[in-house]
Amino acid sequence: MILVTGAAGKTGQAVLKALQKKNAKIRALVRNGEQAELLMNYGIADAVTGDMSSQEVLKEALTGVSSVYHICPNMHPAEELIGQLIISTSREKKVEKFVFHSVLHPQTAKMPHHWQKLKVEEALFESGLSFTILQPAPYMQNILAFKDVIINEGVYRVPYPPQTRMSLLDLEDLGEAVATVLTGSGHDNATYEIVGTDPLTQEEIASCIGKRLNKEIRVEEAPLTQWRLQAKELDMDTYQLETLSSMFEYYANYGLVGNNKVLEMLLGRSPGSLDEFIKREFK
Ligand SMILES: NC(=O)c1ccc[n+]([C@@H]2O[C@H](COP(=O)([O-])OP(=O)(O)OC[C@H]3O[C@@H](n4cnc5c(N)ncnc54)[C@H](OP(=O)(O)O)[C@@H]3O)[C@@H](O)[C@H]2O)c1
């Protein structure tokens, strides 16, 4: 049995979809019954509901499990603590394989959610568990949050400059790579950078979307102060607000770029391009 945490989120669902194709026996850890119900569509064997930061919930979820794919909820302030708890409980429950959903360049102290993932990686090194660490690049799917504005206003509005360079990743490729690592062998003690594209500027991203939509898409930098005001209006909590602000500032200064050779090795083919993603998702 494979336990997938954070299973109802966008990463979790991509992973479940790929594991289903491998006929894997899956348990999902989700927040509530409604999410568990939704995931029945992915053929999961069972679900455990509750708060991932509770040791009791983790004990229940890890009972009878041979492998774990741990996805911490996005921008969770207790990411490091949750990581330590699931690692120690996995040891207690004699889990054979622990695969951790980290992030590209966790070594960046300027981004708190990256740094927390680095500390979880360190805890894994010290755990004695057999582990694999996956470090995914920013998802192409993040662009979908701006889809309506892109289509209706012809603007791709991001809180960093148009020249900011980022390597992107299609979640469908991530799911496939995760399923390969979880159901295959030979990935023990590996740390894999999971990257789909060469570095792309925001202008190149907008141009790629524009070509598919057959119209000009302009990149516009939304000032961070304006983004923060809007986020506050949406009642975003302080940790999320500050962490996202730090991330946007980091992107503006340094971008976030990686190399796709490892993903190509795991998939046995070239990773999906941004153009293929846009063709699929902007129909
Ligand atoms: N987005 C990217 O480009 C990217 C790239 C690399 C790595 N990552 C990492 O990927 C991870 C997952 O991101 P995501 O966007 O897939 O997350 P997500 O869509 O926000 O999903 C998180 C899931 O966890 C649930 N959850 C939240 N708090 C919980 C708790 N205390 N106990 C149990 N379940 C809880 C959420 O339920 P509710 O909906 O009820 O809150 C949701 O179903 C994050 O660690 C992120 O840093 C993201």
| Mean pLDDT on 86-102 | 98
Contact 9, 17 (CB under 8 A): no
Q: Is the pLDDT confidence value at 206 over 90?
A: yes
Ligand 1 atom 40: residue of nearest CA: 31
Distance (Å) from CA 280 to ligand 1 centroid: 23
> Residues lining ligand 1, CB < 6 A?
6, 8-11, 31, 35, 51-53, 71-74, 101, 103, 113, 136, 138-139, 142
pLDDT at 152: 96
Ligand 1 atom 5: residue of nearest CA: 138
Assessment of whether the complete model's pTM goes beyond 0.85: yes
**What's the pLDDT tens digit per position in 24-61?**
999 999 999 999 999 999 999 999 999 999 999 999 99
DSSP 8-state symbol, 170:
-
Q: Is the pLDDT confidence value at 235 over 90?
A: no
pLDDT at 283: 80
| Mean pLDDT on 12-29 | 97
Domains defined along the chain, listed by start: 2-137+171-196+259-272 (3.40.50.720)
Q: In percent, how much of the chain has pLDDT > 70?
A: 100
Pocket test for ligand 1, best of 35, 74, 143 (most atoms within 8 A of CB): 74
| Mean pLDDT on 62-87 | 98
Distance of alpha carbon 110 from alpha carbon 244, whole angstroms: 11
pLDDT at 232: 87
Distance (Å) from CA 7 to ligand 1 centroid: 8
Query: How far from each other are the two terminal CA atoms of the chain, in whole angstroms?
Result: 37
Pocket test for ligand 1, best of 3, 5, 11, 194 (most atoms within 8 A of CB): 11
pLDDT at 129: 98
Q: Are strands 46-49 and 26-30 parallel, antiparallel or unpaired?
A: parallel
Contact 3, 30 (CB under 8 A): no
Exposed / middle / buried, residue 202 (Cβ in 10 Å: 0-12, 13-18, 19+): buried
Q: Is the pLDDT confidence value at 265 over 90?
A: yes
Q: Tokens for 117?
A: 């993932």
Distance of alpha carbon 238 from alpha carbon 152, whole angstroms: 31
Distance (Å) from CA 215 to ligand 1 centroid: 33
Range from 205-219, 220-234, 264-278 carrying the lowest mean pLDDT: 220-234
Beta strands in 31-78 (DSSP E): 46-49, 67-70
User: To the nearest whole number, what is the mean pLDDT of the chain?
Assistant: 97
SS3 sequence of 184-215: CCCCCCEEEEECCCCCEEHHHHHHHHHHHHCC
Q: Please give the number of the atom of ligand 1 that sits closest to the Cα of 102.
A: 7
